[in-house]
Amino acid sequence: MMPIDVVIMAAGKGTRMKSKIPKVLHTLGAKPLLGHVIEAALGLLARKIVLITGHESDWVRQGAVSFFEQHLNTDSKGGLDGASNGASNGVSKAKLEFALQMPQLGTGHAVQQAAPLLDNGGLTLILSGDVPLTQVQTLKSLVQASVSCGSSNLTQTSKPGSPVCALSLLTLNTKNPFGYGRVIRDSKDSTKIIAIVEEKDATPEQKKITEVYTGVLVAATEDLRRWVNGLSNNNAQNEYYLTDVVKGAVADGVPVSALSIDEPLEVMGVNSPAQLAELERAYQLKQAHSLMQTGVRLKDPTRIDIRGALDCGPDVEIDVNCVFKGTVKVGSQVRIGPNCVIEHAVIEDGAVLEAYTHIEGESSLKPVRVGALAKVGPFARLRPGAVLGTDVHVGNFVEIKNSTLAAGAKANHLAYVGDAVLGERVNFGAGAITANYDGANKHQTVIEQDVHIGSNSVLVAPVKIGASGTVGAGSTITKDTPPGALTITRAKQTSIANWTRPVKEKK
């Protein structure tokens, strides 16, 4: 493919969002709208991305840079298993630059601000920062249409050494074209596009046209720069329309091609909270159907939220109202109960997560790990650094943080395990805790294999409990214990006969 520069328009105020947050930084699937568009540009191996800002320019720039750097960093280091998760070869070389549009005098005016930053000898693709779900494959097909149509039709207008490409438009066939620019084709040859007419400038007859322009186009950079610099604002809105570049192409004898699609979700923009919510549900439902096509069994595909990347093995069952954040990898024959929230995690084969389990890994590179055949929940919480081995049981109202539980270890009820290492087959009793924080620093607790920790015990770190040892219920352990020993620190039980509780005085 020819070198591609991508221009993303993100200067609008988004008044109808009724929010101080710039429209393009509102989230879809827990990712900024603008982030989805940047990802698409990176998926095309763009050599340069030019972001046009305007309203809250500094805020938008900061958000774009943060997402851009985070995406490239994650992509270059790889996903949960250390392997690259995308097209990192070449993507890391992409550059992000900015153009400021102030005042905002239309889409054509916006591209005029970006034009000086575009490199010659390639193509320029125009995208919108509030249209998040255009697929990379669709954009590749659009670029290919530009190159193919240009190569077969354009010879006489090309300058020596310049790319031979058509102006290629992404269009949508829709039953409800209101608000979109209508695609005008030659009455004698319907394969030829001669203009795009905006809604406010269209005649009643033109408004009946159901093929509309989506705001996405690609052209040779030299041609596009020439056309946008020659735009006029002689129209109903006194703005410089980017769509008028079609007239420039026609005047220059450059063919205008179209890639027509029928999927509105790919080109649906966001202008209000209602539209954002509508797009969110459509986006989630599409992801749910993609999961089911791979064999995942969902109790209700309308009640799942995937706010990141979810990869499932065979025979996975997911109940209702589960939320997946970040990067989550689920092995085969895993069962996930209702109302679970899982973020940055690896769930190995045969594990069971009961209802209301909450897992919060630190990042895709530092996930929580749940071993094969492990059982977690209900109402359990696994925090960053939690690693559960094979057949580990973590029960109701148990919290695990920065701790490793070896195969067969159990903490079934009402416990806190923080900054600890639990050996194989350890039984951590109800109400027991590791006191890992001294008010200034965290310390580690080591519990060797086959230890039994009695209920309501407190292990004050740093401390080691020797293998096969037992801690009596209600004990507070402050020193290391020897292997095989029973250690008890509770006071001797005393009963006071005929004792009467105080009685509240009457006023």
Residues annotated as catalytic are 413
CA dist 196 and 183 (Å) reads: 5
77: three-class secondary structure by DSSP:
helix
CB-neighbour burial class of residue 462 (10 A; exposed 0-12, middle 13-18, buried 19+)? middle
CA distance 426 to 434: 14
| Torsion over CA: 189, 194, 198, 203 (sign) | negative
Cα atoms found within 13 Å of the Cα of residue 178, Cβ hemisphere only: 1
Q: 221-229 and 107-114 helices cross at what angle (nearest 10)? A: 130
Token pair recorded at residue 180: 């979109």
Phi-psi region of 98 (alpha: psi -120 to 50; beta: other; left: phi over 0): beta
Cis peptide before 378 (omega within 30 of 0): yes
Closest listed residue to residue 123, CA positions, set 225, 204, 35: 225
3 state DSSP class of 455: coil
Residues forming beta bridges with residue 399, ordered by sequence position: 381, 416
The strand pairing partners of 126, in sequence order, are 7, 217
Residues in the chain: 507
Show the tokens assigned to 190: 């319907």
Does 482 sit behind a cis peptide bond, omega within 30 degrees of 0 on the bond before it? no
The count of other CB atoms within 10 Å of the CB of residue 286 is 15
Question: How far is the C-alpha of 363 from the C-alpha of 343, rounded, in Å?
Answer: 8
Reference 244, options 192, 191, 201; nearest CA is: 201
Q: How far apart are CA 233 and CA 79, in angstroms?
A: 48
